[in-house]
């Protein structure tokens, strides 16, 4: 049967992968949420460190960063606890729901790649560190601008949780009716997203330029010299490779050639 010989589905992350070049929507809101809830300052760089986790878990991880933890204890005389995380999360949610629609434009090349995938009968799944309430704003906003995957799982859709566990990726397998997990490709710009794909038994592709690790806007990226791009790409690529990514490319625009390479390997009987 044909599905035994080729890629059946590609499961895509959202921010930094298909929309929101540089993954700015969540990072800016984390900074705002900490400031609004507790008049506490975190940097954009700190906000980026746990990217890819569910947003409650992201806030929890931020509180455990040595720099943040030290400042928190200096300001409040204690460690951050679950009540603090809940307060920041409750502040974060309405801010993120309002903001995410401003970052719904597909990244350059995404629409062409989606068309290529559909022409090759490859199903298009997706999952995100965003909770469902945020996705309910993002999905229609992205759809209006031309991007709509076949299936989407949000980080709070499943009782077992989100990344780095395999569950959102595997729910896509079920929702899309995929026959073989080993014929799926997980594409993500974050380490937890790569780990998610590996834990699910999928091929994984990291994105080193469009996402959180590279961390610049598309307009800024266009003004960078080749040397500047290379200098910024290398640590992002190294981090994704160290996480176990089978391939690392700059942006989703380069996906078709990797799918063809994975198809060649599948025909030889190789598995992730």
234 as an active site residue: the answer is no
Domains and CATH numbers, the chain: 2-23+104-267 (3.40.50.1000), 25-102 (1.10.150.240)
Which is the catalytic residue, given 13, 20, 84, 250? 13
pLDDT in tens, 112-128: 999 999 999 999 999 99
pTM score, two decimals?
0.92
In this structure, the number of other CB atoms found within 10 A of the CB of residue 158 comes to 15
In the prediction, which pLDDT does 4 show? 67
pLDDT value of position 1: 41
Residues of the chain with pLDDT under 70: 1-4
Pick the catalytic residue: 55, 186, 189, 250? 55
Q: What is the 3-state secondary structure (H, E, C) of the chain?
A: CHHHCCCCEEEECCECCCECCCCHHHHHHHHHHHHHHHCCCCCHHHHHCCECECHHHHHHHHHHCHHHHHHHHHHHCCCCCHHHHHHHHHHHHHHHHHHHHHHCCECCCHHHHHHHHHHCCCEEEEECCCCHHHHHHHHHHHHHCCCCCCEEECCCCCCCCCCCCCHHHHHHHHHHCCCCHHHEEEEECCHHHHHHHHHCCCEEEEECCCCCCCCCCHHHHHHCCHHHHHHHHHHHHHHHHHCCCCEEECCHHHHHHHHHHHHHHHHCCCCC
Task: Kindly report the number of other CB atoms within 10 A of residue 244's CB atom.
Answer: 15
Contacting residues for 245 by C-beta, under 8 A, at least 6 apart: 194, 204, 205, 206
């Amino acid at each position: 049967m044909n599905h035994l010989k080729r890629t059946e589905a590609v499961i895509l992350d959202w921010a930094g992968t298909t929309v929101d070049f540089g993954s700015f929507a969540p990072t800016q809101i984390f900074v705002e949420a900490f400031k609004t809830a507790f008049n506490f300052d975190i940097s954009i760089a700190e906000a980026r460190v746990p990217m890819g986790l569910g947003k409650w878990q992201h806030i929890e991880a931020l509180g455990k960063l040595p720099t943040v933890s030290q400042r928190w204890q200096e300001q409040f005389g204690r460690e951050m606890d679950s009540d603090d995380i809940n307060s920041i999360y409750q502040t974060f949610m309405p801010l993120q729901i309002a903001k995410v629609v401003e970052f719904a434009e597909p990244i350059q090349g995404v629409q062409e790649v989606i068309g290529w995938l559909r022409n090759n009968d490859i199903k298009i799944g997706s999952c995100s560190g965003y909770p469902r309430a945020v996705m309910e704003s993002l999905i229609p906003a992205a759809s209006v601008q031309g991007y709509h995957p076949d299936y989407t799982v949000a980080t709070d859709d499943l009782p077992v949780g989100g990344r780095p566990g395999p569950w959102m990726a595997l729910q896509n397998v079920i929702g899309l009716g995929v026959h073989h997990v080993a014929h799926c490709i997980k594409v993500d710009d974050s380490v937890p997203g790569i780990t998610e794909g590996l834990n699910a038994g999928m091929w994984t592709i990291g994105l080193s330029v469009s996402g959180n690790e590279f961390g610049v806007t598309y307009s800024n990226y266009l003004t960078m010299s080749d040397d500047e791009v290379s200098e910024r790409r290398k640590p992002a690529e190294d981090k994704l490779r160290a996480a176990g990514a089978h391939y690392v490319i700059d942006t989703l625009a380069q996906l078709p050639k990797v799918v063809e390479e994975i198809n060649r390997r599948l025909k030889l009987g190789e598995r992730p």
